[in-house]
Amino acid sequence: MSTVTGEAKKDKGLLILSIVVFIYFALLVSISELHYSSVLVGGIIQFLTLPFAAILITVLILAIQSFVKHKFKTNSYSFYCLIILLLTIVLLVVFA
């Protein structure tokens, strides 16, 4: 049975959060590009966009701190988290 340190659990949680944020914003851009309009979908989007934007910024800051703390290792969860978050930001800038 393997033991996972608290720091690795935190980094893994950040990676999962970054994937969820990416999926949310990818769906948001897809809905926008397909011009799908529904009152229910519009309400959900209005309700969730600001919290997901706050999560994006918070996870980005925490991932940068963790990446620096791990001395810029490219095989860490925080590095992959940063890549996913940067892709999310590029997705929002280019398509939104």
Q: How far is CA 9 from CA 2, 13, 32, 83, 88, in A?
A: 13, 6, 35, 19, 22
Average pLDDT for 11-30: 94
pTM of the shown model = 0.87
CA angle, corner 94, sides to 68 and 26, nearest 5? 75
Integer Cα distance of 66 and 14 in angstroms: 10
Q: Which carries the bigger pLDDT value, residue 8 or residue 29?
A: 29
Q: Which carries the bigger pLDDT value, residue 94 or residue 96?
A: 94
